[in-house]
């Protein structure tokens, strides 16, 4: 069930809010039960079969947490239990997400047909697997006590705003609010506003720009300008699609008393690749830093080891995104760029990051998105060839002009909104001390107009799933 679907907007969310804030419901424990049931229903709506996998996974990992804690208390080898838990969870992820990919490559190597029938990817399996792994590791490290109870752990894993596309958070980040959250009207209002902004990002900008990106990536031959327009369109589409989802998730969390962490901080304004990855999918970057990069030694090691650590992290980051070689290449591109920046300290050079660094970063990010969007390495190389050579269609063709005529306004809004322009405007308004009542009226009218437009587009348009549902 997508946040932008009519079922969610007009049935699921309103009904859940009415039940959740019913006067008969008073304790957080009762509200936790309501949220857990709602989260399971949310998941089952799209994945009725795999809800069993989810429930079994919760029971197994809760038990694993108890065993790890018991072994620690009895001075037994808790690390063995942790390793078993990690293997089990990664094993399930491999079976559902990577088994066919592995068998396809073994088929090519052995000339024997080892492929099996296609396995449907459970919704959000990459995201909730990482949540589970962080829980087990943190129990082992002593950061979490296992006396929280099955209900709390189940809610942490299944909480519907984050289950399908994150943010990926540690249990300790939700722990206090699961037990003792408070309900403030201001937070609820902020949540509604954040949800409206996220919905607009998805249905008004991302879905519209996706038409250009999809058409360009499906065409065999195009002009140089059209190829660049398609790549830039996808660059904007994936940002507004994923950051829009994150805004909606954070907004929904606030409506129910939870403060989920930020996942984006205007990444296209970055002056280096290092800075870009501090601003893009922040919670995924933090997960790899905390559970892979730092345990390997981080950056406080000799240069050969540093390169190895970066290679491991970015190979895993690429593979995490999908079972395809183009994702591996995408990850390796960032490995090379980040290794260069780490070894030369280029990302710390203010003269570079404030000038040419922005162009350099956006250039390589766009190139990376071509590999990310393409179905294979071959198709990515073919598309890049169209971008950097003048083919049969020349530099500019009729298609480019038509696309620009149709979408120039949305593209312009998308480009401007990709940068912290609104923050700058807010600072100017605060300095000039403009009447707050007028500002609030303008904001309210604007939000209402955006919400009505977004709803009308949700009703009239065909279903368009979020990009990161695939991962």
Kindly list the domain boundaries of the chain, sorted by start residue.
Answer: 6-181, 187-271+354-460
HEC sequence for 368-432: HHHHHHCCCHHHHHHHHHHHHCCCCCCCCCHHHHHHHHHHHHHHHHHHHHCCCHHHHHHHHHHHH
The conformation of residue 297, written as its DSSP 8-state character, comes to: T
Residue 81 to residues 62, 67, 136, 240: CA-CA distances in angstroms? 12, 7, 10, 41
Residue 190 to residues 193, 199, 248, 303: CA-CA distances in angstroms? 5, 14, 11, 46
d(CA 101, CA 160): 29
321 an active-site residue? yes
The pLDDT tens digits along the chain (471 residues) read 788 899 999 999 999 999 999 988 888 999 999 999 999 999 998 778 888 888 999 999 999 999 998 898 888 889 999 999 999 999 999 998 998 888 888 888 888 877 777 778 888 889 999 999 999 999 999 888 766 789 999 999 999 999 988 899 999 999 889 988 888 899 999 999 999 999 999 999 999 999 999 999 998 789 999 999 999 999 999 999 999 999 999 999 999 999 999 999 999 999 999 999 999 999 999 999 999 999 999 888 999 999 999 999 999 999 999 889 999 999 999 999 999 999 999 888 888 988 899 999 999 999 999 999 999 999 999 999 999 998 788 899 999 999 999 999 999 999 999 999 887 777 777 677 666 777 788 888 999 999 999 998 888 875 566 766 666
Catalytic residue among 281, 321, 347, 358: 321
CB contact at 8 A, 94 and 47: no
d(CA 441, CA 471): 40
d(CA 215, CA 278): 31
pLDDT computed for residue 423 by the predictor = 78
Residue indicated by tokens 């299944």: 158
3-state helix, strand, coil in the chain (%, to 5): 75, 0, 25
Determine the straight-line distance between the first and last CA of the chain, rounded to whole angstroms.
Answer: 15
* Dihedral angle over CA of 448, 454, 459, 464, nearest 10: -160
**Which alpha helices (DSSP H) does 280-355 contain, by range?**
282-288, 294-296, 303-321, 325-344, 350-353
């Amino acid at each position: 069930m997508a946040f932008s679907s009519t079922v969610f907007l007009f049935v699921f969310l309103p009904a859940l809010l009415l039940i959740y804030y019913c006067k008969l419901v008073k304790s957080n424990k009762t509200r936790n039960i309501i949220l857990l049931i709602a989260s399971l229903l949310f998941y089952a709506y799209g994945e009725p079969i795999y809800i069993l996998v989810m429930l079994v996974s919760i029971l197994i990992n809760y038990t694993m947490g108890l065993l790890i804690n018991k072994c620690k208390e009895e001075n037994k080898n808790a690390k063995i239990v942790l390793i078993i838990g990690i293997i089990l969870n990664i094993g399930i992820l491999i079976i559902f997400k990577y088994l066919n990919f592995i068998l396809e490559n073994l088929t090519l190597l052995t000339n024997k047909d080892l492929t099996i029938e296609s396995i449907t990817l459970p919704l959000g399996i990459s995201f909730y697997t990482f949540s589970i792994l962080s829980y087990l590791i943190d129990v082992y490290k002593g950061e979490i006590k296992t006396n929280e109870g099955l209900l709390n752990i189940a809610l942490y894993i299944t909480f519907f705003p984050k289950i399908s596309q994150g943010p990926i958070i540690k249990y300790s980040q939700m722990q206090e609010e699961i037990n003792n959250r408070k309900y403030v009207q201001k937070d609820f209002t902020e949540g509604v506003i954040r949800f409206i902004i996220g919905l607009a990002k998805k249905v008004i900008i991302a879905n519209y720009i996706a038409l250009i990106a999809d058409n360009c990536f499906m065409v065999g031959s195009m002009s140089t300008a059209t190829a660049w327009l398609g790549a830039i369109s996808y660059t904007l589409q994936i940002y507004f699609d994923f950051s829009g989802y994150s805004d909606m998730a954070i907004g929904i969390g606030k409506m129910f008393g939870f403060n989920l962490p930020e996942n984006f901080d205007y990444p296209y304004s970055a002056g280096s690749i290092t800075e870009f990855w501090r601003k893009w999918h922040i919670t995924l970057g933090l997960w790899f830093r905390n559970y892979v990069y730092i345990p390997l030694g981080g950056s406080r090691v000799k240069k050969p080891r540093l390169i190895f650590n970066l290679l491991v992290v970015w190979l895993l980051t690429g593979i995490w995104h999908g079972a395809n070689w183009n994702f591996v290449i995408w990850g390796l591109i960032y490995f090379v760029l980040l290794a260069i920046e780490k070894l030369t300290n280029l990302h710390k050079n203010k003269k570079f990051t404030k000038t040419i660094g922005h162009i350099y970063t956006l250039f390589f990010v766009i190139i990376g998105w071509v590999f990310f969007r393409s179905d294979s390495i071959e198709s990515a190389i073919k598309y890049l060839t169209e971008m950097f050579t003048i083919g049969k269609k020349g530099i500019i063709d009729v298609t480019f002009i038509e696309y620009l005529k149709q979408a120039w306004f949305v593209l312009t809004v998308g480009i401007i909104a990709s940068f912290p322009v609104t923050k700058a405007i807010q600072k100017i308004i605060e300095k000039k001390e403009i009447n707050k009542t007028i500002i609030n009226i303008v904001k309210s009218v604007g939000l209402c107009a955006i919400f009505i437009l977004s709803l009308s587009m949700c009703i009239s348009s065909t279903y368009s799933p979020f990009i990161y549902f695939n991962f």
